[in-house]
Amino acid sequence: MIYRDFGKTGLRVSAIGMGCEYVWTADEKQIFDLVRAAVDGLLSLTPVQCISYVLSFPQVACPVPRFANVDELNQSLAYLTASEEEKDFSEIQESLVGQFANQSMYCNHCQPCPKKIDIAEVTKLADMAEKEMTDELRERYAALLVTGEDCVHCGSCTRRCPFGIDASENMRRAQRIFGC
């Protein structure tokens, strides 16, 4: 498993837990870099705010901190007694990182699909086709063994999404875009 340092908190978070894949698209790399920039000091988040942000993702049960010195340890331990105001990380949503709200990260946290739909691929193709439909995109969508049309809208994908994306709505959108 790949782990990434999370800012100056001493936390190491699974790359998958950050919404990143081992094969990154340019958009995913840009998003990860923006998040890293946010927690590396460009937004001046405290270790308490960074820990609060990491713990806001449903798939993170327990961050695994590491520290260079006792001071870093104490700064992170402050999370345990911090007020809600001290934990507030809304600065991230108000920053450039917030521009990516409600956009799929194609991370596959929504899987498994009971109908075996490759939700990330269907969503990615729909996103690209929405910008500019091409014959190649039509062919790639048609080549999928199961498509958005096969979705039964059970909602399991939406419940799993750490970013609050309604993945089943993305399947409906793909149906509309590709004319299924």
The mean predicted confidence, pLDDT, of the chain is: 77
Could you give the CA distance from residue 151 to residue 29 in angstroms, rounded to a whole number? 29
For the segment 12-67, what is each residue's pLDDT rounded down to a tens digit?
555 444 433 334 455 555 555 555 554 454 456 788 888 888 788 766 777 777 77
What domain range is 14 assigned to? 3-99
Q: Are residues 7 and 93 in the same domain?
A: yes
CA atoms within 13 A on the CB side of 166: 5
Q: Is residue 104 a part of any domain in this protein?
A: no
Residue 32 one-letter amino acid: F
Q: Are strands 3-6 and 64-65 parallel, antiparallel or unpaired?
A: unpaired
CB atoms within 10 A of CB 59: 14
C-alpha–C-alpha distance, residues 73 and 111, integer Å? 35
The answer to whether position 109 is within a domain reads no
Domain count, the chain: 2
For residues 27 and 116, give the distance between their C-alpha atoms in angstroms, rounded to a whole number: 25
Is residue 106 one of the residues assigned to a domain?
Answer: no
Say which residue the tokens 């190491």 belong to.
12
Q: Which residue has the higher pLDDT, 119 or 40?
A: 119
Within-domain flag for 89 = yes
**Both 11 and 64 in a single domain?**
yes
Q: Is residue 135 part of a domain?
A: yes
User: Does the CA dihedral 4-59-174-151 come out positive or negative?
Assistant: positive
The mean pLDDT value for 55-80 works out to 80
Residue 33 within a domain: yes
Residues 72 and 134 in one domain: no
In a domain, 56, yes or no: yes
pLDDT at residue 59 in the model: 66
Last residue of a domain, one of 99, 133, 165: 99
**Helix ranges, 38-155 (H):** 47-55, 70-77, 84-87, 90-93, 119-131, 135-143
Give residue 109's pLDDT.
85
Higher pLDDT, 170 or 104: 170
Strand order through the sheet with 11-14: 3-6, 11-14, 64-65
